Structure 1
């Protein structure tokens, strides 16, 4: 195996290990020393492949967004009308978050230093989630400018995320998943009805 192949294999292994650790224990489970030990390399080797741990986290988060996007995409065709489609997307988001809580939470817990910027490729991946919501909005608001639909899609995503986050984290009260699904259903259908007016 060439040096380049070994380096590529180590980089892939570091992402795989970081991904497993985050999937099991969230961002708190990602420590450079533990990561290096499991990968069989020196701590410094991590920084030959990633400028810092934030870059490694973004590599894992990109995989997480791909998985979440696939789950939401699978729900995109469901529902007999735009309101039903918005609901299917929202419930798919809830179900994925509930099934992959440490990974899902890591998407929102990760904080960059004030002077750091989010990679453009990551921004594009994140925007795909909003575009799923824009499709049923186009049917509900056929005459609205695309920019207005895009802004509303982000607001709807924020509302759904807020319900999911507060419910799964039990910040307000203990909410079993069926009750959380019912709450989300009521809110999303009410939003869709209001938009259709």
Structure 2
């Protein structure tokens, strides 16, 4: 079946936006440049997407899908197993997350740096795509802390993600207080193992 022409043009627009973000970062994304890339009038862009918010979210959707596949390949959807195996898997998922961030730096940063217009809300489809990634952490966490409730596991997953994400954000930005890049992975793995040891400890 042939793709709808408007849908095909929208995909071409998302392609162009994705390329520009990957090459020069979010700050280099300009509607006029995209119109030139597509060989169309500036107004034609807004017949394909509502606004730049929607366009960036569509690029983010692609990035999240690739991140999801990357984490799945690292074992993020395998049953939990023993606490030791679950800890090993959580460390592998954290390292896979860091590798994806390094290899897709500008697109990964855009997921967290972009701010919607003040009166805009994140569409439900975008919010669900983001929340869906937590299943990669929830499964292994259940193996590390088998007595935790679902609500506790969900909170732990967000806390652990925030910790790992924060180390990589600061490290990959080369901030003064950052862990050196060549030590990032070993320090993140150590952090995950320490957290898991604490969660598995009795009492």
Separation in 2, partners of 1:6, 1:43: 18
Asked if structure 2 preserves the Cα contact closer than 8 Å seen for 1:131 and 1:150, the reply is no
What secondary structure does 2:118 align onto? coil
For 1:98 and 1:175, locate their aligned partners in 2 and report how far apart those are by CA, in whole Å.
15
1:18, 1:60 within 8 Å by CA — same for their partners in 2?
A: yes
Q: Aligned equivalents of 1:74 and 1:20: distance in 2?
A: 24
Matches within 5 A, 1:8-47: 8-47=7-46
More helix by percentage: 1
- CA distance in 2 between counterparts of 1:100 and 1:92 reads 12
Residue deviations 1:8-49 (CA, integer Å, cap 9, x gap): 221111011011111112211210000001101111011111
Cα deviations by residue, 1:92-114 (Å, 9 ceiling, x for unpaired): 00011011111111111100122
Decide whether the 8 Å contact of 2:86 with 2:144 is kept in 1.
yes
Q: Distance in 2 between matches of 1:159 and 1:45?
A: 42
2:190 aligns with one of 171, 181, 186 = 186
Aligned equivalents of 2:94 and 2:5: distance in 1?
42
- The counterpart of 2:117, out of the listed 110, 113, 117, is 113
Unaligned runs of 5+ in 1: none
The answer (yes or no) to whether the contact 1:130–1:153 under 8 Å persists in 2 is: yes
The corresponding residue for 1:124 is: 128
CA distance in 2, matches of 1:87, 1:178: 17
Unaligned runs of 5+ in 2: none
Task: Please report the TM-score for the alignment, with normalisation by the length of structure 2.
Answer: 0.90
Count residues in correspondence.
Answer: 195
Contact 2:174 2:180 in 1 (8 A): no
SS of residue matched to 1:142: coil
- Check the 8 A contact 2:167/2:178 in 1, yes or no: no
Within the candidate set 104, 112, 129, 1:100 is matched to 104
TM-score, with structure 1 as normaliser:
0.93
Partners of 2:171 and 2:115 lie apart in 1 by 22
